[in-house]
Structure formats: structure tokens, C-alpha cells
Amino acid sequence: MLFGCLALGILLQRVRDFPHNSPLVLNQFIIYISLPALALYYIPDIKLDSTVLLPVGVGWICFAASALFFWSLGKMFGWSRKLVGCLILTAGLGNTSFIGFPVIEALYGAEGLKTAILVDQPGTFVVLSTLGIALAAVFSKGQPDVKVITKKILFFPPFLMFILAVLLNVLHLSFPDMLKDVFQRLGSTVTPLALVSVGMQLRIERRSKHWRFLALGLLFQLVLAPLLIYLLYVQMLGVKGELAQITVMEAAMAPMITGSIVAASYGLKPRLANMMVGFGIPLSFLTLPIWYWIIRGI
């Protein structure tokens, strides 16, 4: 499905019946409908206690490391703010759900999926909804406006639904199964729609100036980010077993589709953002088995 939807988006570039703003429309549907539905489906039923800190921390640690890494390089080499913002967003947020969930479930079963959900929902998903939106607003405008940025975060639809879902969790309330089914079906549209949108915007330009930045971004996301989690969790904290393996594998996932959508929506090098996903997903299917082989014995 991943490769099929990406290829479909590329083919639809040649269909004149689709208007030029079709990717924008698809992105808005994902942000306003699909992602909020996912939050309402998963989060009310997550068990919140001290054991969630390590999985939840993956997304925050990787995003912070990405910000430090690319901001430092940007200062050193004089990169534009939009380029730095694009790399932080697309290389600092992994696809911990739409690729991560099926991969983790296949390797570790339903119990492993519970840990993957913690990595994604309170972790990567909230990072995108808060720090990700703030960073996109700052790096797209140049001058930070705290009031505007705060408003963008508070009225970001997935974040609003996340707050509602956490409140339901704390109050031990849950939606009836019929509504959960609706949320699950709406949430499942994220992957196909997002990949079609990426495919419709993907341009393979041999002389593009983005190739070296693409290589650097994917190096961080597919190699340096999981290496950081491995060194921190396994070597320093001594975490062992499936918890350690799942957190490293989730850190090694391809760039987050929604992160690239947010970057593109804010004008942060849209072509590079789409290349990060378009090339990162196929490449991750080569790097993920390597990471699985490295950590399988811990």
C-alpha cells in the first residue's frame, strides 16, 4: 500500500482533472479529520503510568537532537531558516505509526504494539502538535510572535483532540465501540491520502540542489537518531528486552509523513520535505532490518 499510494500520486501528476491544489486539499483533510480521529481512537484507552516515560521520550529526544544538529550546521554553513526548519521537522520526527505500527506488530505482536502506541501518540504526535507547529511558524516567518504561535498550537485540530482524549483518559471515560469504529476508519485514511499527496508533489530532479540535504536528513533519521536512542537507553540506562528493542526500532523509522506535510504547508522547502518522505520510506526498508539484526539480542 505504501509504494502503491506513492506511485499513484506520481501518476496523478499527469491527470489534468486534478487541480494543482489537490495536495493542499488532501493535507487539510488529514490535519482536520484524519489525525484528530486517530487521537480520539487511541489515547483514551492508553494506560498512563511511570512505565510510559521511556517510550514517550523517544520522540522528544530525537526532535531535540535534530534541532540541535541542524541548527548548528545551519549556523556553521549559513543555511536559510526555511532549510533548517525543514530538516529539523522532517528528520526529527519518525513515522512511528503508519510504518511503525505494522512493522512492530509483525516483529513483536500485539504486546509490542502497545509500546509503539506510547512512542507515537504521547510522543511523536504531541511533539509535532506543539514544538513542531511552533518551529514551523518561527522558521517560516523569521520573527517569532509568541501570541500567534500559541494560537496556532492551541487551534491545531489534532492538538485540540489530543487534549480532549487525554481528559477522557484521566476521567476514565471512553467512547462506545460504534464511535471508535468511526474514528479508526477515519484515522486509517492518513497513510494513503498522505502518500498520494506526497507523490503528487514529488519531483525527481537530477540537478536539484536538495540532494545533499536529502542525504544528510536521511542519515540523521535512519542512522543517527536510532543510534542515539540505543546509546542512551541500552548503553547508559541499561534498558533490556523488547522495550529497548521497540524504542530503537521506532527511532529508526522513515521520516514522519505528517511532519513533511506541516513543513510543506508552512513553506519550509516543500520539495525537500516531500523528497524526505518519498525516498526515506523505501530506504528505511533496507535500514530497518539492519537495526533489527543489531538489537535482536539485547
Domains for the chain: give ranges and CATH numbers: 23-196+208-295 (1.20.1530)
Average pLDDT, the chain: 89
Amino acid 99: pLDDT: 82
Determine what percent of the chain is predicted with pLDDT higher than 70: 97
Tell whether the model's pLDDT for residue 267 goes beyond 80: yes
For residue 16, the one-letter residue type is: R
User: What letters, b where the CB count within 10 A reaches 16 and e where it falls short, cover 41-69?
Assistant: bbbbebeeeeebebbbbbbbbbbebbbeb
Contacts of 224 (CB under 8 A, 6+ apart): 65, 69
Query: CA-CA distances (angstroms) from residue 180 to 75, 175, 184, 191?
Result: 47, 6, 6, 18
pLDDT tens-digit map of 192-235 = 888 888 788 777 667 778 899 999 999 999 999 999 999 999 99
Amino acid 142: pLDDT: 63
Tell whether the model's pLDDT for residue 88 goes beyond 90: yes
C-alpha cell at 53: 516515560
> How much is the pTM?
0.83
Tell whether the model's pLDDT for residue 144 goes beyond 70: no
Highest mean pLDDT among 23-32, 158-167, 250-259: 250-259
Alpha-helical regions (H) of the chain: 2-12, 22-29, 35-42, 53-77, 81-92, 100-118, 126-127, 133-141, 146-154, 157-170, 177-187, 190-201, 211-219, 225-229, 241-251, 257-265, 270-295
Amino acid 118: pLDDT: 85
Amino acid 201: pLDDT: 76
Instruction: Using pLDDT thresholds of 50, 70 and 90, give the confidence band for residue 51.
Output: low
Residue 203 phi, psi (nearest 5)? -125, 125
Check: CB of residue 269 under 8 Å from CB of residue 263.
yes
Phi-psi label, residue 238: left if phi above 0, alpha if psi -120 to 50, beta otherwise: left
Please give the average per-residue pLDDT across 267-293, as a whole number: 92
Tell whether the model's pLDDT for residue 85 goes beyond 80: yes
Instruction: Determine how many CB atoms are found less than 10 A away from the CB of residue 223.
Output: 14
Amino acid 272: pLDDT: 94
Distance CA 143, CA 59 (A): 26
Distance CA 291, CA 155 (A): 38
Check: CB of residue 106 under 8 Å from CB of residue 288.
no
Fill in the DSSP letter of residue 236: I
Name the β-bridge partners of 94: 255
Please give the average per-residue pLDDT across 162-167, as a whole number: 90
Fill in the DSSP letter of residue 52: G
Please give the average per-residue pLDDT across 272-290, as a whole number: 91
Entry field: residues in the chain:
298
Amino acid 74: pLDDT: 96
Determine what percent of the chain is predicted with pLDDT higher than 90: 49
Please give the average per-residue pLDDT across 23-46, as a whole number: 87
Please give the average per-residue pLDDT across 44-49, as a whole number: 78
Tell whether the model's pLDDT for residue 110 goes beyond 80: no
